[in-house]
Amino acid sequence: MGQSVVQPPAPLPRLFLRSQQVQAPQVQLREHESSRWSQSHDAIQSYTFDVVNQFREHRKNPNGCPLKMTYFTSLTYTNCTLVTDWYVAGNEIADHTMTHVGNPPATEINGNIIALNALAGIPMHAIKDFRAPFLNYTSETFHFLAVADFMYDSSTAASIPVTDPDTDAYWPYTLDYGLANNCLTVQGICQGQPQLPGIWEMPMYAFFDERGVNGPHLIDAWLDPANGASTVNDTATLEYMMNTFIAHYNGTANLLHCTCTLSISPYAFDVPWCRCTHFNHQRDQQVFGLASGAIRRMDRVQRTIARLGPEPHLNSFDPLKCPTPDINPTMHICNGIPANEQGLLNECAFPDFPFYTCVSLVSRRFSVTGRTTDHGHGHDHDQCGCPQVEPSPANPNPPQQVPEVATNCSTPFWDPVAGVCLCTSDECAF
């Protein structure tokens, strides 16, 4: 690919050059171990859960674990309690800005981390992945991510079919030598820029209809007319999505992700939304009928690729296991487990977007130079509470009457009413 390097520049853990194939010998995947990643983005609401759970329920990966996915979460219209539930259930919460703006400033990116930490109890260090809304970003966006200590980005697009010898459907790579996608559409990237060692890029791979490179579809493919037609045809859309999937599955780029934007507005629950749900169900039924392998969170795919040596059995690879917190179901605590938090939710009835929250603060101060935690003064421990004003990029963490999660405890084990951690082992720490 025109790149050569003797060894990764110290002290980086790994260096992965862009490639159309997975890099041996670091990764040796047998067919039944190959991974696809599953992700959605925008707001998290009860009806978005219906869509993703239709895909996940009643299915398991080859190692027996339930399917997990990545959710690029924007704060606007998001039900914070469901974010907590989603995270504690083993899924990844990633950053998609506070108010869903393209070319986002640092306040949108960092403010979303602060708000999800304060209102949903997501540890700051766990929000390590980012996607720019509308896939609109600048070179400066990546520098914001580097300062805030993100692990990977997924804002670029691969727009050449995987069957083309010059495809840009690269496996995830690090930015030691800059970006290799969107080179003709975004200024200040590629040709070695932005040089940000250790940050991973996981491109979004486009689908292609029967027109090939002249018929790309990205993100909400189910909204696009297929094959140059003037109206949407679900059958034609499903056909080209499946053809693209098979091309990835049978080719050298075994990774492919399918996404459906989950509306940022609670008032968009209409006929097209129902079509999205039905269409995804039909597509996923065919995918599972054709393909072996696993459906994973994006960060788990990245960790699989980045592991230090070949793993003979992914079933024994710790990041792909599925431990669950052992919590007494009769306890009433705000911990992200629906049975435990029933009856404890607080409705925050702000005019722009009302939401529920059932967590305490994890930290009081955010530093974009390393995500440091600085706990403030104590709070009343008699209730969980809503922020006094609506969170915004200028004020992502308004005051709340809530206790703080201890630094030696993780979300599912923290009782915010009593202010105690239900687990004392090292496995419970953040």
Q: Is the pTM of this model over 0.85?
A: no
Q: Are the beta carbons of 63 and 315 closer than 8 angstroms?
A: yes
- What confidence tens digit (pLDDT) does each residue in 183-192 have? 999 999 999 9
- Written as six digits, the tokens of 12 are 């980086």
Query: Is 96 in contact with 63 (CB distance < 8 Å)?
Result: no
Instruction: Name the one residue in this structure whose structure tokens are 């990643």.
Output: 37
* Distance in angstroms (rounded) separating the CA atoms of residues 173 and 14: 10
Separation of alpha carbons 221 and 295, rounded Å? 20
Q: CA nearest 87: which of 407, 337, 413?
A: 337
Is the separation of the CB atoms in 94 and 130 below 8 Å? yes
For residue 146, the model assigns a pLDDT of: 97
Alpha-carbon gap, residue 234 to 283, rounded angstroms? 10
CATH of 8-430 given 3.40.50.970, 3.30.470.20, 3.30.565.60, 3.20.20.370: 3.20.20.370
Per-residue confidence (pLDDT) for residue 46, from 0 to 100: 83
**So what's the pLDDT on residue 365?**
35
Residues in the chain: 430
> In this predicted structure, what is the pLDDT of residue 58?
73
Give the pLDDT score at 14. 52
pLDDT tens-digit map of 129-179: 999 999 999 999 999 999 999 999 999 999 999 889 898 988 888 899 999
**416 prior amide bond cis, ω within 30:** no
The residues of the chain scoring below 70 in pLDDT are: 1-39, 55, 251-319, 359-385, 401-407, 416-417, 426-430
At 147 the pLDDT is 97
